[in-house]
Amino acid sequence: MLIWGCSLLGAVVVFFGGYYLGQKSGQSAELKNQVEPQDAEFPLAESNALLDEAFKAYSQRKYRDAMMDFQKVQEKQPALVGIDYLVADSAYRAGEGVLSADAARRAISKNESSVQARALLALLDLEKSKVSKSEDAAQQMSDPSVNAENEIKQLVASNLGDARGYLLLGEFLRSNGSYHSAADVLHEGWLRADPRVTRGFLSAKEQLARLQNEPAKSVPSLSELTSMSGEQALVAALASLQLHQSEEAASFLGRAKELYAPEVFQELMRDSAFADYKADLQCKSYFEQKAN
């Protein structure tokens, strides 16, 4: 009986030991089979210069120029991630539907900006259906308008913190007369938009950094105050603080506060360029106030 009991206990230990090792082995194999993330290639100097030109043209609504520059980037450095979608987007805005669709399909095949590319393809299909004959539209398997809305919603759902998807969905709903729903979606986008990634915010940060690198030698005249943009007033305020002209700095900060959204202004007041001046009696209130 004792021998039988020991044999049974040994069998149980072997069984559970084998089960445990098998589980560990399976987990290790699963981890080994997972694809290692690849480091994205960084743009070389020549590609970077072309990207600057492309995005500049895009921001100026010169979409054909932007498309051509993005294509040149891809020719010079094919391994860069996301260029196919940039070609597709700029081509779409330039009215080059066929070229846009081809680039969007390439983006999807590479799984690069694929959600955005699918939404773009759905919009292209929708536009095509509007100009096609009614009998051709009747033969389609699905409603292009419904498909476009679903793809745009998927774009929003895949990145809930990206305001661009909300903007696209809001404009789509407005084009279909759904103004109430569009207003709700656009409000959501406004709430979730990051004030730190706007062009105006980044431009202001750039100018503050330049002034840190090369401090001001003079301060703009207060007579120019009312004609200044928010960015100009902000830079003038930092220049004044660098030259210990606190009253002028306070006036310039007051002008900047009027022209920037509260959230953006407060973020700019946290910029490292102002770190040494937060105790300045004339300007202290600007650094301490909270955004509404």
Q: Report the number of secondary-structure helices (H) and strands (E) in the chain.
A: 15, 0
**pLDDT digit string, tens, across residues 182-234:** 999 999 999 998 888 888 999 999 999 999 999 999 999 999 999 999 999 99
Cα R_g (the chain), whole angstroms: 29
- pLDDT at 141 (0 to 100): 66
**pLDDT digit string, tens, across residues 121-159:** 999 999 998 887 554 545 556 799 999 999 999 999 999
- pLDDT at 32 (0 to 100): 45
Q: Cα–Cα–Cα angle for 248, 284, 281, nearest 5°?
A: 70
Boundaries of every domain in the chain: 45-130+142-158, 197-288
Query: 45-130+142-158 belongs to which CATH class?
Result: mainly alpha
CA-based max dimension of the chain: 106
What number is the average pLDDT over the span 78-84? 95
Structure tokens at 21: 């090792």
One DSSP character per residue, 72-86 reads HHHHH-TT-TTHHHH
In this prediction the pTM is 0.73
> What are the helix (H) ranges across 60-113?
63-76, 83-93, 97-109
- pLDDT at 134 (0 to 100): 52
CA-CA distance, 241 to 269, in Å (whole number)? 13
Q: Burial level of 83, CB count in 10 A (0-12/13-18/19+)?
A: buried
Structure tokens at 133: 């004959």
